[in-house]
Every structure is written in structure tokens, then in C-alpha cells.
Amino acid sequence: MRIRKASALAAAVFALSLAATACGSDDESGDGGSESSGGSGDGGGGEELRIGIKFDQPGIGLENSEGEYSGFDVDVATYIAGEMGVAPEDIEWVEAPSADRETMLQSGDVDFIVASYSINPERMELVDFAGPYFLAHQDLLVRSDAEVSEDAINEMTLCTVAGSTSAQNVQDSIAPDAATQEFPTYSECVPAVQQGTIDALTTDDSILAGYAAQDEYEGQFKLAGFDLSDEYYGVGVPKGETELVDEINTALQKMIDDGSWEQAVESNFGPANYDYEDAPKVGDLSVVEE
Ligand code: GLU
């Protein structure tokens, strides 16, 4: 899992020590790890991480045209990596679309995922979670001139994203009778609302606020303001990596205690005027258990 940037010498020493003990390593990374752009023997000697984030969600996880990354999840992930001794330049960011997150963790494609990833019982069967580190609520993004009422969601045409709790919640309880279209990513859904082919995009208010605040959409959208669900964001890790969960929880707690969490929330959500919740209790997964 975690990838060590090994110099040629270190690799040789490691190979020798393996041969001498004639048995496999018993350390935390016993699964052989994921392949990465690292391991090139560039002599850094530090560790590298592959972290899954969203690439198209302003305020949460965004890749710009220069290949730079920003957003609250990027700040959280960078802080966690720092606590693990990994410098920002040694993080490889990997896009983690909603529907692929569990598979990416199961296949070892990433070390962990920080991608507006709600903790829920179904996902907890497949992966483990550190956190929660944030609480969002499902809402609707509509055109600014639209009139919406919570009682009439079933009559609307909605779009959301495959593999998200947002899609699941619509089907299960929020609006089982609504005509729903699922897209691979939220950013593909926004133009459909703008053009009027879809009445509303539904997902976490944290994500919707980011789209509404984008310059290119200025004044065009509003959030309906409905608290349709509780979405506790967790850091997804491969199943059984309890030490990693503990390590990440310690980092998250520190991030909250030293004020970095508040700073990250304000700098990423402040421009969108998003009224965020206080930090949830890290390590308390009872809030999402049925
Ligand atoms: N938080 C919800 C989820 O994990 C919606 C956002 C997303 O798709 O990333 O499914």
C-alpha cells in the first residue's frame, strides 16, 4: 500500500535482507502495494501516497487546467499525508469517481480516498472508514428563477451520479417517483440543469454550493435549502487496515484541534457562502449505523 521511494541502494539492501530472513515482510504493507509513478529510484527516501479525490467538484476536490489540485478534501488529505511524513509533492492524486471508490480501494489502486465519501453500512461491508470529518446534507441545485417545494420533488426531473448515496436516497425515500437521470460525474449534470432539460441536480449541499459559486454560473443557480439526508464524510481505506484508520483518525483529530480544519473549511466553502456544520466526532461511526 504505502509506497516507499527507494533508492537503488536501499532496494538492494532490502532484497538482501529478504533473502537472509527467507520469509516475507510482515510489516503493514504486506500486500505488495500498488504500482505507481514512484519507485524510480530518484533517491528521495521519503514515502509516497496515492490518494483518491474528486477532480471536478469545486470547493471539495478540483483539478485545474495546470494540473493543480484544490478543495477541502485536498486540504484534509494533504494534512493527513503530512502527519504521515509525506510531503505534498509526494502525493499522487488519483481521480475517484463516485461509482469506483470501493473497487479502487479493493484493488489497491489508491492508499486511501478523501472524496465527499459518505460513510454508510453498505459501504462499510466493503471498505473501512476513518472519520467522520465532515457533515453535509443532500439538497437540490435549481435554476435561480425556479420555485421548488419539498412536497413536489416527486414531480421533478432530477439528475445525480451513479454509485452515490444521493442516487440511492432518491430511489429509497426522497423521491422514488421522480424521473431520474444518472451521470458519471456531477459536473456533467450541471449544464443539463442550466439548459432546463433537467429540473434539479441533487447531491450534497457542500458540492452544490461549489457549483453555484463558480464564476461561469454566476447568478444562475440556487440551492433549494432542503436538508434531505445526513452525509457523514469518511476517509475510505482498504478493508482490514485498522492501523491506517487509527493513524488517519489521529491526524483528523489534530487537524480539528489545531484550527487547520476550520481554516480549510472557511477557505474552501467561504467563497460559496456555504453554511457548514461543526466538525463531527472523529471515530464515532455510530452516527451512520442503522
Ligand atoms: N456524499 C455522497 C456519496 O458519497 C454524494 C457525493 C459523491 O458522490 O461523492 O455518495
**What is the pLDDT at residue 273?**
86
Hey, which residues does 112 pair with through a beta bridge? 51
How far apart are the CA of 64 and the centre of ligand 1, in A?
21
Indicate if 174 and 236 belong to the same structural domain.
Answer: no
How far apart are the CA of 163 and the centre of ligand 1, in A?
8
**Integer Cα distance of 277 and 134 in angstroms:** 8
pLDDT band at residue 290 using 50, 70 and 90 as cut-offs: low
- CATH number of the domain that 195 lies in? 3.40.190.10
Ligand 1-lining residues (CB < 6 angstroms): 98, 115-118, 161, 164-166, 203-204, 231
Kindly state the percentage of the chain with pLDDT values over 70.
84
How far apart are the CA of 121 and the centre of ligand 1, in A?
14
Taking CA atoms only, the protein residue closest to ligand 1 atom 1 is 118
Query: Do the beta carbons of residue 54 and residue 46 sit within 8 Å?
Result: no
Check pLDDT > 70 for residue 237.
Answer: yes
| Closest ligand 1 atom number to CA of residue 164 | 10
- Could you tell me if residue 41 is inside a domain? no
- Could you tell me if residue 29 is inside a domain? yes
- Could you tell me if residue 205 is inside a domain? yes
44/218: higher pLDDT? 218
Check pLDDT > 60 for residue 7.
Answer: no
Check pLDDT > 50 for residue 5.
Answer: no
C-alpha cell at 1: 500500500
Phi, psi (degrees; rounded to nearest 5) at 172: -75, -40
Indicate if 155 and 213 belong to the same structural domain.
Answer: yes
Query: Considering the chain, what is the average pLDDT of its residues?
Result: 87
- Find the mean pLDDT for residues 65-92: 97
Which residues 6+ apart lie within 8 Å of 224 measured at CB? 139, 140, 141, 142, 148, 150, 200
How far apart are the CA of 99 and the centre of ligand 1, in A?
9
The per-residue pLDDT for range 259-286, each reduced to its tens digit, is 999 999 999 998 888 989 999 999 999 9
- Report DSSP letters for 104-124, one per residue: HHHTTS-SEE-SS-B--HHHH
Which structural domain, as residue segments, surrounds residue 104?
A: 49-135+232-275
Helix (H, G, I), strand (E, B) or coil at 151: helix
Supply the pTM of this predicted model. Answer: 0.85
Indicate if 25 and 159 belong to the same structural domain.
Answer: no
**Integer Cα distance of 235 and 61 in angstroms:** 14
- Could you tell me if residue 61 is inside a domain? yes
Indicate if 171 and 199 belong to the same structural domain.
Answer: yes
Hey, which residues does 204 pair with through a beta bridge? 138
Taking CA atoms only, the protein residue closest to ligand 1 atom 5 is 164
**What is the pLDDT at residue 223?**
95
Indicate if 160 and 207 belong to the same structural domain.
Answer: yes
Indicate if 210 and 239 belong to the same structural domain.
Answer: no
- Could you tell me if residue 44 is inside a domain? no
Indicate if 237 and 109 belong to the same structural domain.
Answer: yes
- Find the mean pLDDT for residues 180-206: 95
- Could you tell me if residue 282 is inside a domain? no
Indicate if 216 and 264 belong to the same structural domain.
Answer: no
- Find the mean pLDDT for residues 95-108: 98
- Could you tell me if residue 43 is inside a domain? no
Query: Sheet holding 56-57: strands in order across?
Result: 56-57, 61-63, 69-70
Q: How would you classify the pairing of strands 112-113 and 221-223?
A: unpaired
Of the candidate ranges 36-50, 61-75, 214-228, 229-243, the one whose mean pLDDT is the lowest: 36-50
Indicate if 116 and 148 belong to the same structural domain.
Answer: no
**What is the pLDDT at residue 3?**
54
Indicate if 106 and 247 belong to the same structural domain.
Answer: yes
Q: Which of 170, 187, 207 to mutate to test the pocket of ligand 1 (most atoms within 8 A of CB)?
A: 207
Count of CB atoms situated within 10 Å of the CB of 199: 22
**Integer Cα distance of 91 and 45 in angstroms:** 14
Tally of structural domains, the chain? 3
C-alpha angle 195/196/197, rounded to 5°? 95
